[in-house]
Amino acid sequence: MQALLRSLTSRPRLLAELLAASLLINILGLASTAFVMLVLGRYVPYGIDATLVTLSLGVTLALALEFGFREARRRLAAQALAPAALERGNAGFAALAGIRAAVFDRLPAAARADIMRAVDSVERSHTAPTLTALLDVPFSALTLLALLLISPALALIAGVGMALSVTVTLAGERWLRTRMANVQAAEQRGQHLVATVLRASDAVRAFNAGAWLHRRWSQTQADLAALRGDSVAVQGLISSATQFLTGAQGVAIIAYGAILCVEGTLSTAQLIGANILAARALAPLNRLAQLIEPLARAQWALRQLAEIARLPREQLAGNALRTLEGRLELSDIAFAYAGAVTPLAEHLSLSVPAGGIMLVAGPTGAGKTTFARLLLGLAEPLRGRILIDGMDMRQMSLEWWRRQVCYLPQEPDFIDGTIADNLRLNHPDLDDSALYRAIAQAGLKSWLDTTAQGLDTMVEDSGKRLPPGLRRRLGLARALAGNGKVCVFDEPTEGLDDEGRAAVYTALRQLAAEGRTLILCGNDPALAQGSGMLLDLGCKPVPRVVMAKEAPGHA
């Protein structure tokens, strides 16, 4: 609720206009009560038609004005909320794309998916009708004041009804707030199962995992239904309680008002007016009571977004070298993934000269991919330094550094755009001829010629639908398009046919001839040919660096 109102305090003029509109709406809202009282008090006893016509015209005008002010207020409220909504959406997306890779890696998949869901959840509750309902709450006092002028005793009864309604609402809000974490956790479990079914659709079918997943899904849904049922029950209880209060307040007002009428201190018209005003004073509080579930959900989502906003971002600003030679040095590097029993590297030190070629080998799980990710700044060492031409990577703009690297990941994925979009990601200024050159170097020219749209062919579903060999070669083309001084290729020949492997070897020979620094991760013996160094990650705890002539498989 505070966050919703905070979006107004930064725009005082809009706030003033909204408050003025609310004041006028609430004053005009009194007109219909005044009309009832005047008809009963002035027209009914004397029967003068002109009085009735005047009163009817007056109240109709007041209703029309009230309608106009309500519309204006709704537009103002939407206007007031729009910038905060836009900012939240942008901040959520920027967090998704910009949280430091090593930190993002540690976030559970469900928590990642939850970032934009949290933004959505806030937007669904922070709407113009919610804001206007909140703005009406303080003006209940105005209605109570009007009632006070009719009868202080009846105003006191209405005041008690309002205080009870606020108490019920606050208690319900507190109850929901404390249980929101459980609802959220059950929702996350459900999302996680859905994501698994979507991601591993073939495995789910081929290994008959559907029934097993379905059992877990049913359990999650049962938990969620119970938790949501509790929330709905509390919201329902609050609604029933506020309705009861409205009814009880009406009874009290009529009963005590009747006594005052008999005593002669209150007229019948005043009693009816007082009853209407008491109900009107309570109405905004009852509306607020209906909003506590969505508001509690939004508050929870905002807290999550605030936590996400505190996570460190990629280091995009920083130093850039005027000219890059391509010297790499690792000094006393230690690395372990969070929760891993043994570190992947301890006291790893090595140096690759500019234009040098190093093969990074080792059995499955030895850390070849992790080594490549360390060089890209996608994983961060626990200790030690990575130096590029003598400059510590931590002082460097990662955005600049990643532009200098031709990177081929083990499992290349792509953005959903055209091939040209993907090849230009890191270098938007590349012309088509540079893209065709990279495509030819990756041995994809004949494949591209078979496509109807060439470079404008769409890559969908992050490229997951492309055959693995083609995906890898498209990844190679993307790496080569960048023309970087340092090349980091992770398993460049894995899963390729003879033609694909030949294209990779030719490309590697060309890159070596051009004096690029090559870091080749993988166990393909042919990759060892021509490499000056071999880093054996299978050697624990300190990976061994050997020179070419000692390297196994080296020709």
Ligand X SMILES: Nc1ncnc2c1ncn2[C@@H]1O[C@H](COP(=O)(O)OP(=O)(O)OP(=O)(O)O)[C@@H](O)[C@H]1O
Q: Least Å distance between CB 542 and ligand X?
A: 16
Q: Is 475 in the site for ligand X (CB under 6 A)?
A: no
Dihedral sign computed on CA atoms, order 493, 499, 500, 506: positive
Q: Provide Rg for the chain, Cα atoms.
A: 35
Q: Is 495 in the site for ligand X (CB under 6 A)?
A: no
Contact 143, 275 (CB under 8 A): no
| Beta pairing partners, 490 | 521
Secondary element (H or E) of residue 347: strand 345-352
# binding residues, ligand X (CB under 6 A): 12
Q: Least Å distance between CB 491 and ligand X?
A: 6
Distance CA 213, CA 221 (A): 12
Return the range that interacts with ligand X (CB under 6 A); candidates 158-166, 173-181, 365-373, 420-428. Answer: 365-373
Secondary element (H or E) of residue 361: strand 357-361
Q: Least Å distance between CB 138 and ligand X?
A: 52
Cβ-based nearer residue to ligand X, 106 or 174? 106
Q: Which of 4, 296, 348, 366 binds ligand X (CB under 6 A)?
A: 366
Q: Is 368 in the site for ligand X (CB under 6 A)?
A: yes
| Count of beta carbons in the 10 Å neighbourhood of residue 429 | 6
Ramachandran area for residue 275 (φ above 0: left; ψ -120 to 50: alpha; else beta): alpha
Q: Is 364 in the site for ligand X (CB under 6 A)?
A: yes
Contact 478, 422 (CB under 8 A): yes
Q: Least Å distance between CB 307 and ligand X?
A: 21
Q: Least Å distance between CB 496 and ligand X?
A: 15
Q: Least Å distance between CB 493 and ligand X?
A: 13
Return the range that interacts with ligand X (CB under 6 A); candidates 62-70, 243-251, 348-356, 359-367. Answer: 359-367
Give the CA count within 13 Å in the CB-facing half-sphere of 472: 18
Ramachandran area for residue 318 (φ above 0: left; ψ -120 to 50: alpha; else beta): left
The pair of three-digit structure tokens given for residue 545, joined into one six-digit string: 């660096």
Q: Find the binding residues for ligand X in span 142-201 (CB under 6 A).
A: none
Distance CA 161, CA 282 (A): 7
Q: Which of 273, 367, 484, 543 binds ligand X (CB under 6 A)?
A: 367
Cβ-based nearer residue to ligand X, 271 or 366? 366
Cβ-based nearer residue to ligand X, 344 or 508? 344
Q: Find the binding residues for ligand X in span 338-357 (CB under 6 A).
A: 344
Q: Provide φ and ψ at 515, rounded to 5°.
A: 85, 20
Q: Which of 108, 312, 365, 515 binds ligand X (CB under 6 A)?
A: 365
Cβ-based nearer residue to ligand X, 367 or 532? 367
Q: Least Å distance between CB 401 and ligand X?
A: 20
Nearest by Cα to 468 from 414, 526, 406, 411: 411
- List, as one string, the DSSP characters of 384-413: EEEEETTEEGGGB-HHHHHHHEEEE-SS--
Return the range that interacts with ligand X (CB under 6 A); candidates 62-70, 289-297, 362-370, 415-423. Answer: 362-370
Return the range that interacts with ligand X (CB under 6 A); candidates 22-30, 92-100, 208-216, 360-368. Answer: 360-368
Return the range that interacts with ligand X (CB under 6 A); candidates 32-40, 271-279, 302-310, 367-375. Answer: 367-375
Distance CA 256, CA 383 (A): 79
Cβ-based nearer residue to ligand X, 334 or 455? 334
Return the range that interacts with ligand X (CB under 6 A); candidates 37-45, 110-118, 239-247, 363-371. Answer: 363-371
| Beta pairing partners, 385 | 331
Render the burial of 450-468: b for 16+ CB within 10 Å, e for the rest: eeeebbeeebeeebeebee
Contact 300, 181 (CB under 8 A): yes
Q: Least Å distance between CB 352 and ligand X?
A: 19
Give the angle 198-200-201 at the CA atoms, nearest 5°. 65
Contact 319, 395 (CB under 8 A): yes
Return the range that interacts with ligand X (CB under 6 A); candidates 174-182, 248-256, 306-314, 358-366. Answer: 358-366
Q: Find the binding residues for ligand X in span 91-110 (CB under 6 A).
A: 105
Q: How far is CA 303 from CA 10, 82, 198, 294, 296, in A?
A: 20, 20, 29, 14, 11
Q: Least Å distance between CB 290 and ligand X?
A: 45
Q: Which of 159, 362, 412, 500 binds ligand X (CB under 6 A)?
A: 362
CA 428 to chain centre: 27
Query: Which residues are CB-contacts of 210 (< 8 A; sequence separation ≥ 6)?
Result: 204
Cβ-based nearer residue to ligand X, 392 or 494? 494
Q: Least Å distance between CB 382 and ligand X?
A: 13
Q: Is 392 in the site for ligand X (CB under 6 A)?
A: no
Cβ-based nearer residue to ligand X, 368 or 501? 368
Q: Find the binding residues for ligand X in span 407-426 (CB under 6 A).
A: 410
Cβ-based nearer residue to ligand X, 101 or 261? 101
Question: Quick one: DSSP state of residue 453?
Answer: S
Strand-pair category, 357-361 with 533-536:
parallel
Q: Is 380 in the site for ligand X (CB under 6 A)?
A: no
Q: Find the binding residues for ligand X in span 40-79 (CB under 6 A).
A: none
Q: Least Å distance between CB 366 and ligand X?
A: 4
Q: Is 369 in the site for ligand X (CB under 6 A)?
A: yes
Dihedral sign computed on CA atoms, order 85, 88, 94, 97: negative
Q: Which of 127, 151, 304, 370 binds ligand X (CB under 6 A)?
A: 370
Q: Which residues bind ligand X (CB under 6 A)?
A: 105, 337, 344, 362, 364-370, 410
